[in-house]
């Protein structure tokens, strides 16, 4: 694949409105969502159309819940399971968009970011006449929660090494290191679906979760196999989906980040904690125009 636009040091938005309909993974409720073009400097903003386009900016300050999905809340208005659409926009280096929804949860679609990526690339990405700003990590940081670990060190690009461990013969331990750019994201991360284990379904449903879950939108593991008749999309689909989720959560920094991350057994809560830790001290980062960094490197 070629780069989706020629000047990545400039901000971008979607070229046309893109509408998606489906159900919420956890609520099971029908929802229609439209990704709309937005001017430079807007950022990513969710709008509840049934509440007069009430805006909820996709920022760490609005994170409300990180149990099994990432939810945002502003003035009591909630929008849930935002990570896949945020991941798609982040992975394709789209800085600005309005995301209009008519219910409280983003549609799960097929459980991956591929439907978003395919439609965005087909509809086109529009370059805007304003420089992209990036958040550059200045010093090493680490967050731990029990055996869950995430760290970041300074880098001139975004790289992630992710490691997972599950007590299942088809997963066991997986680790992947990659540099994130639009081509890699679209081909190697976006198609990878959320996953879960049959043994956990009863507990999740008892807690009001995964009401919309099915083999159409998730990889489900039986005790010694996989229930999906078509199997995996990639042999290491699980670790790739974890990186997809990570990018959706790191998007809540509000701009692209330059840093090298390492995560082990992490999840939405640990990702969100690292984002908050980065932002907690201005000595941790610098906000710079990407064009100036490109010029300095050339």
Q: Write down the pLDDT at residue 8.
A: 60
Can you list the residues of the chain whose pLDDT is less than 50? 1-7, 298
- The C-alpha angle with vertex 86 and arms to 154 and 198, in degrees rounded to 5, equals 105
How far, in Å, are 18, 104, 228 from residue 30 at the CA level?
A: 17, 10, 23
Per residue in 149-200, pLDDT tens? Answer: 999 999 999 999 999 999 899 998 999 999 999 999 999 999 999 999 998 8
- The two structure tokens encoding residue 61: 């300050």
Whole-structure pTM value: 0.93
Q: Which residues contact 147 (CB under 8 A, 6 or more apart)?
A: 264, 265
DSSP SS3 for 47: strand
| Residue 295 confidence (pLDDT) | 53
Please report the pLDDT score of residue 185 as a whole number.
98
CB of 78 closer than 8 Å to CB of 72: yes
Does 271 qualify as catalytic in the annotation? Answer: no
Quote the CA–CA distance of 103 and 211 in Å, as a whole number.
15
pLDDT score of 63: 97
Q: CB within 8 A of 2, min separation 6: which ones? A: 183
pLDDT value of residue 4:
35
Catalytic choice (84, 241, 268, 271): 268
What pLDDT, in 10s, does the model give residues 206-225? 888 889 999 999 999 999 99
d(CA 41, CA 97): 10
pLDDT of residue 98: 98
Q: What is the pLDDT of residue 207?
A: 84
């Amino acid at each position: 694949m070629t780069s989706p636009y020629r000047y990545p040091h400039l901000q971008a938005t979607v070229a046309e409105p893109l509408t998606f309909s489906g159900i919420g993974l956890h609520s099971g409720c029908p929802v229609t969502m439209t990704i709309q073009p937005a001017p430079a400097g807007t950022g990513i903003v969710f709008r509840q159309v049934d509440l007069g386009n009430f805006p909820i900016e996709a920022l760490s300050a609005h994170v409300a819940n990180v149990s099994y999905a990432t939810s945002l809340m502003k003035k009591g208005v909630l929008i849930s399971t935002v990570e896949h659409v945020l991941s798609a926009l982040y992975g394709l280096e789209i800085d600005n968009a309005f995301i209009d929804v008519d219910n409280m949860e983003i549609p799960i679609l097929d459980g991956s970011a591929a439907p978003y990526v395919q439609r965005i690339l087909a509809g086109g990405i529009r370059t805007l006449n304003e420089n992209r700003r990036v958040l550059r990590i200045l010093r090493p940081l680490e967050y731990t929660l029990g055996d869950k670990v995430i760290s970041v060190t300074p880098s001139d690009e975004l790289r992630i090494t992710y490691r997972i461990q599950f007590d299942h013969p088809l997963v066991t331990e997986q680790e992947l290191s990659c540099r994130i750019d639009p081509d890699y994201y679209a081909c190697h991360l976006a198609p990878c679906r959320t996953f879960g284990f049959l043994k956990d379904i009863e507990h999740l449903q008892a807690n009001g979760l995964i009401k919309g879950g099915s083999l159409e939108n998730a990889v489900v593991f039986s005790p010694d196999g996989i229930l999906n008749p078509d199997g995996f999309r990639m042999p290491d689909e699980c670790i790739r989906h974890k990186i997809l989720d990570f990018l959706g959560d790191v998007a809540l920094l509000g701009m692209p980040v330059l840093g090298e991350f390492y995560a082990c057994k992490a999840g939405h809560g640990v990702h969100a904690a690292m984002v908050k830790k980065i932002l907690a001290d201005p000595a941790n980062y610098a906000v710079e125009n990407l064009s100036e960094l490109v010029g300095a490197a050339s």
